[in-house]
Structures are given as structure tokens and as C-alpha cells.
Chain A
Amino acid sequence: MALIKKILIANRGEIALRIIKSCKKLGIETVAVYSDADQDLPFVQSADEAVNIGESQAQKSYLHMEKILQVAKIKNADAIHPGYGFLSENPNFPKKCEKEGLIFIGPDEKIIQAMGSKIHARNKMKEAGVPVLPGCEGIEDLDEAVKMAEELGYPLMLKASAGGGGMGMKVLQNKEDLEKAFNSTVQQAKNFFGDGSIYLEKLIENPHHIEVQLLSDHHGNTVHLYDRECSVQRRNQKVIEEGPSPFLSEAKRQEICETAVKGAVSIGYKNAGTMEFLVDENQNYYFLEMNTRLQVEHPVTEEVTGLDLVELQIKVAAGEKLPFTQEEVERKGHAVECRLYAEDPKTFFPSPGPLNTFKFPEDNTRLDFGYEEGDKVSPFYDPMLGKIITSGKDREEAIRNMEKALDGVTVEGITTNLPLLQQVMKDDEFVSGMYTTKLLQNMNDRREKVES
């Protein structure tokens, strides 16, 4: 590739290692940046060059744009890969990269900005003919909110427009709930996201969370790489993902995927992105949000399609055409991904500490991890240690392989959610494939019933 010979990775841990892997395959040099806490982690060793960018707190290192850009300039990097989290969805980052003559591996500032505001994204998708949940925005005060809520009908969600990751959301069953929650939600939105605008949305009681992987080049081509089911969640955060969704019919899968492409084309999307949908029990689907970056669960799609998403991201960013058409995207078998978190499986209490023992099955299970035995898990970043990914000719085989793989994992020194992952694989509701985002709650209720 003419344009990109050296990439700086503005991230850490498992995703930094994952990006390095594709760079090595393509013969591209890598520069890692790391904080004090991360100096001994595998991604630092694995990159061709590594530069310390400061203290452990993300604000002072991984979120410090100026420092990262300075390293990119000094090391003569051609491009920056932001991974997920940190600066990946900050519109100022691609803007500054562009100013410095660096290629940002992702969409441009305008697209990130447009999709970053929930209200704006909703309107854009509505215009493009993508179904959105009935709702209303631009609410000025409580009186107006009460009136609008009556029109829409309860139950409703009250959301911060700039929110994300399950933050700034309240479920409202009636007018009293709205009166109680209104002021604090506005205040929270101001404090957390610097933007007090809120909106009301119809609540789907037992939703499926299903998303579509998209990829666009700079030559007007957009393809989808099929769907992922991400309904195993705790506190609105994903724990287990699989693809294809066991809940959708083939006809509906096709329809959702084509709708997602339509939405991406309408905003002139570039690079890899994911459109998330809420799906109700009758397979009606509604646009939830668009993530303008690579996602944690991208390996599910890689296992099913045989493609390397990071490689494709880099090629697209370098101005290459997508090397295949929609018809040429193949889908084979089934894949499951489990996220191993450093947290108590019951209380979700974080558990940093030393990985005294950290053993994995020694077969061909795909393991995307940023830590090795003997490393210390610091309290400064996300509790996700990494991901275990298995596949099979069908869902049953993929799940069986996951059970086997999980049995081969041993962690000592910290608490992890491994027991929870093992329980899910054996849970009838999960195995049936008809589970919703209530699965973990239901499992918990079932366990408490047995124990009492």
C-alpha cells in the first residue's frame, strides 16, 4: 500500500494487539502508545516501536490528543487507528489528524458528529427510511414532556441525547415516574455529557439487541457483513455476542441488513461501522444508534465471513476499493464470543489485581486478549480482559466448542465472570436462541428461586 506504511495505535490492551496483528500481515509498521500502568503489557512489546505518553489515568494518556498526535508526527506515522472507546468516537480527533496530515482510520468528523447525537442520528435515519422508535425530542420543560408522554403512551424511555453506553436513561411506567425523573435526567445530561437535551422514546419491553456490520469505501461502495445478536447484557453492556442472530428469520435478516446499508449510504458513511437495532418479539426492528468505529465483537463477523475487518479498515482508509461486492460476501456456520471481565459475576464489582494464573485451552480457539499470566490488571481502564471466540458449522457446535473452551480457562489472583459465562452456555433459554436482553436478569431470578 502506497499511502500507509506506518500506523500509530491510539489504544491499549487486546484491541491494540489485534490491530498490530493485521498490520504485521500487511507489512505495515506499528507504533504503540502506552501509559505508566501499561508499560509491561504484551501490546507494548509486540509493536515495532512504543512510546510512553504519560500517567495511568486515561485523561492524561489515552485521551490526550495532543500527546498522541505529537508522537505520530515524531515517529512519522502515516495513519492513526483509534480502536474502540477512548478517542474513537470523538469528532475532534479525526479533525486534528487531518490538520496534521495524518489519515484517521475511520469515518470523518462530520459523520462521527452526526451519529454522536442520538436525536440527530434518529432524524437522519428517519429521513433515509430506516424505522425509528416512535418518540419525541426538543422537549423544553416538564409540562411539555407530560403532554408528549400522554400522546405517545407509556411505558417510555427518557434519554439524554448525548448519552451512550447505557448512561442517562430512565424507564417510565407512568406520569409520576416522569415527574420524578425529569429534572435529574436533564441535570445529569448536562453534567455528564455537557448537553442537557433529552428525548422520549417508546419502550420495547423485551427487546432483542441486534446489529449489522457495515463497511464503506471512498468510491461509493457500501456492503453489509451480516448481523450479530448482542442480547446478553448486564447494565446495558454486552457480555456475549453471536452471529448470525438465532432469533431472526432469513427473510428478516436480509431486510434488516439491506435497511442498514440504505441508512449508511444516505449519510455517505466511510470505513467500518455498526448499526444497532432494537427488535421486538414480532421481529419489528427500530434504529437504536450507529457506532462509527470497530466494535469489540467484530471477531464474530470475522469468524462467520472469513474476512479481516482491521485489514479492510486500513485498505479503505488508504483509498482502496472494497475487494468484493455484496454478492461475494460469504457467510458460513456460526460464531459465539464471550467477554471475560475482571469483575464479580453476581455483583459486577470490579476486581483489579495480579493474574497469578492465566491459562487457556491449547487448541485452535480464537483468543483476543491483552494480558498474559503474570501481568497486573490495573484499576484505570475497562474491566474487560479479552474475548474467547468459537465457531462451528451450526449454532449448536459453536456453543459446544465454547463450553469446552471455557472449561479450559483458569484465572487465579482476581475474580472474573467466567462462572457466569459457563452458566449462560448451559442455560435453556440461551440454548433455545429465543432470549432477549432480559436473559441475565431471568437467569438470576431462576437461581434465586432455586436457592430459596
Chain B
Amino acid sequence: MSEKAIISPLPGVFYRKPSPEEGNYVEEGQQVEAGDVIGLVEVMKNFHEIKAQERGTVESFLVENETVIDAGQEVAKLK
């Protein structure tokens, strides 16, 4: 199994949950399907969903909830 990075195409603030009151979209170690939402990026008052590109297990998140990220930054590793 090779590792794959999930990358944010946009700069902004990264969130792991749909809203402050809710739980995380996914936890580390969880199985995801292609197209599953793993986080949100808030950019210019818009929310953009970050999705897994393929099936796999989320090995680790590389950024915490509410971190400021750059375009092209890796947010999680999938294996």
C-alpha cells in the first residue's frame, strides 16, 4: 500500500468538522471512499469541501482543526 496525500486546492482556514457543534468528518484510522468529505476550507467567506480522491484509510491529519493553510498544502495522508 502506497501513501497518498490529500491536498487542499485552496488557501484558507481548514476545518475538520462541518460546524463547531458537530464531530469531525473523519477520524484517523477510519476507512473512506472516493468522494467522501474529510474537511472544509473557508476561503473568502465560502466553504469548500475537501474530499478523498480514492478509497483508503486516513493514516493521519497533517494540520489541526482551524489551521491556516496554503493552496496545494497536504492536509492528510491516506494509505
Contact = CB atoms under 8 A, between A and B. Distances in A.
Interface of A: 55-57, 191-192, 342-343, 350, 352, 379-383
Given A379-B43, A382-B45, A350 B10 contact: yes
A294 B10 CA distance: 31
A382 B42 CA distance: 11
B19 A381 contact: no
Contacts of B39: none
Contacts of A379: 10-13, 43-44
Contacts of B18: 191
Nearest to B43: A379
A350 B47 CA distance: 10
A383 B45 CA distance: 8
A430 to B, nearest CB: 26
A382 B43 CA distance: 8
15 contacts: A57-B13, A57-B68, A191-B18, A191-B19, A191-B21, A191-B22, A342-B44, A350-B10, A350-B43, A350-B44, A379-B44, A380-B13, A382-B45, A383-B45, A383-B46
A191 B18 CA distance: 9
B66 interface: yes
Given A57-B13, A57-B68, A350 B22 contact: no
Best-surrounded residue of B18, B21, B44 (most CB of chain A within 10 A): B44
A192 B22 CA distance: 11
B68 A352 contact: no
Contacts of A380: 12-13, 44
Contact of B44 (A55, A56, A192, A383): A383
Main secondary structure of the interface of A (DSSP, over half): loop
Interface of B: 10-13, 18-19, 21-22, 43-46, 66, 68
Nearest to A194: B21
Nearest to B13: A57
Contacts of A191: 18-19, 21-22
A330 to B, nearest CB: 37
Contacts of A57: 13, 66, 68
Which 9 residue pairs spanning A and B have beta carbons closest together? A350-B44, A383-B44, A379-B12, A379-B11, A379-B43, A191-B19, A350-B43, A382-B45, A350-B46
Classify the interface of chain B: helix, strand, loop or mixed.
Answer: loop
Contact of B19 (A55, A192, A343, A352): A192
A89 to B, nearest CB: 15
Given A57-B68, A380-B12, A352 B21 contact: no
Contacts of A192: 19
Contacts of A343: 44
A381 B18 CA distance: 19
A352 B44 contact: yes
Contacts of B44: 342-343, 350, 352, 379-383
B22 A352 contact: no
Nearest to A351: B44
B66 to A, nearest CB: 7
A192 B20 CA distance: 9
Nearest to B11: A379
- Residue in A55, A342, A343, A350 whose Cβ sees the most chain B Cβ within 10 Å: A350
Nearest to A384: B44
Nearest to A342: B44
Nearest to A192: B19
A55 to B, nearest CB: 8
A15 to B, nearest CB: 15
A132 to B, nearest CB: 29
Given A57-B13, A191-B22, A192-B19, A352 B43 contact: yes
Contacts of B12: 379-380
A160 B33 CA distance: 33
Contacts of A383: 44-46
Contacts of A350: 10, 43-44, 46
A283 to B, nearest CB: 33
B30 to A, nearest CB: 22
A131 to B, nearest CB: 32
A381 B46 CA distance: 9
A383 B46 CA distance: 9
- Which of the listed residues A56, A352, A379, A381 has the most CB atoms from chain B within 10 Å of its own CB? A379
Given A57-B68, A191-B21, A191-B22, A352 B11 contact: yes
A330 B44 CA distance: 38
A57 B45 CA distance: 11
A55 B68 CA distance: 10
